[in-house]
Structure 1
Amino acid sequence: MKPSIEIEYCTGCRWLLRAAWTAQELLTTFEDELGSVTLKPSEVSGGFFVRADGTMLWDRKQRGGFPEMKELKQIIRDHIAPERDLGHSDKDA
């Protein structure tokens, strides 16, 4: 079964578009590896969380901000498909 990503976002902060853009980027990059990407309105004020099969990969408050897409893709790749090359989005040598 392919992994699922959940993006939980604060509705009061109007972060739906950011969450949707993040989902689009992840679905485009990991189209063969992901089973789904779900957007979930958060009950946590100011929350922006990214989880893979329930495992927290990004918490905006703990990390001090939103993820850069390159970094988020690397984190997700390391979690779901460590052997995968991300091309130009991969870690610097």
Structure 2
Amino acid sequence: MASTTQAPVKLPRVAITYCTQCRWMLRAAYFGQELLSTFGTSIGEIALIPATGGLFTVHLTYKPERTTEDSSEDVAVQQVLIWDRKAEGGFPETKILKQRVRNHIEPGKDLGHSDKPSNKAKSEEKVPTKQAEEPTAPGTVTDSDNDMQAAMALEQKECEDCK
């Protein structure tokens, strides 16, 4: 039975709601891990929220930094939808998710390689015709990338209720 006592929420808070019927818990946990690895203590908490019906959303609750214009008044806590699988037509790339979170909680933060266009985007800019992808440089695939690919392979089929 769920407790009625509420603990204080630590902001900024990222809430990842995922469909248990579709078995998207590993994907949700992976995204949470990536955000925590990138932002560290700049994120107050990550919440994994089980749901049904093919739902996969990422919400950010945060208190915007004060600007000189609103220094005299208290800035209200805001909640913003960072990603919605149904609206966006799929799951986010990790770098896109990081960029969207960063734009709200640490706009000046450099995300390193996550701020640069991918090799695929660069090659598409140069040659607009469809070409085979060039192999990536050795050592660019991390263990977490392999873990995510394995988890996604298990999740390929949506449950009947979630379509």
TM-score by length of 2: 0.53
The percentage of counterpart residues that share the same residue type is 53
Match of 2:54 in 1: 46
Larger RCO (alpha carbons 8 Å, 6+ apart): 1
Match of 2:22 in 1: 13
The structure carrying a bigger strand percent of its residues is 1
Equivalent-residue separation in structure 1 for 2:51 and 2:100 (angstroms): 22
Which runs of no fewer than 5 residues in structure 1 stay unpaired? none
Shift of 1:2: 3.6
Match of 1:77 in 2: 102
Which residues in structure 2 correspond to 1:25-44 (within 5 Å)? Answer: 25-43=34-52
Shift of 1:91: 4.0
Spell out, residue by residue over 1:40-59, the C-alpha distance to the aligned partner (whole angstroms, 9 max, x if none).
0124x111000101321100
- Bigger radius of gyration: 2
Equivalent-residue separation in structure 2 for 1:9 and 1:59 (angstroms): 10
TM-score by length of 1: 0.91
Moved more, 62-71 or 51-60: 51-60
Equivalent-residue separation in structure 2 for 1:2 and 1:28 (angstroms): 17
Which runs of no fewer than 5 residues in structure 2 stay unpaired? 1-9, 62-78, 118-163
**Partner-residue secondary structure (3-state), 1:37:** strand
What is the number of equivalent residue pairs in this alignment?
91
Runs of 4+ that moved beyond 2 A: none
Equivalent-residue separation in structure 1 for 2:116 and 2:101 (angstroms): 13
**Partner-residue secondary structure (3-state), 2:28:** helix
The Cα RMSD (Å) is: 1.2
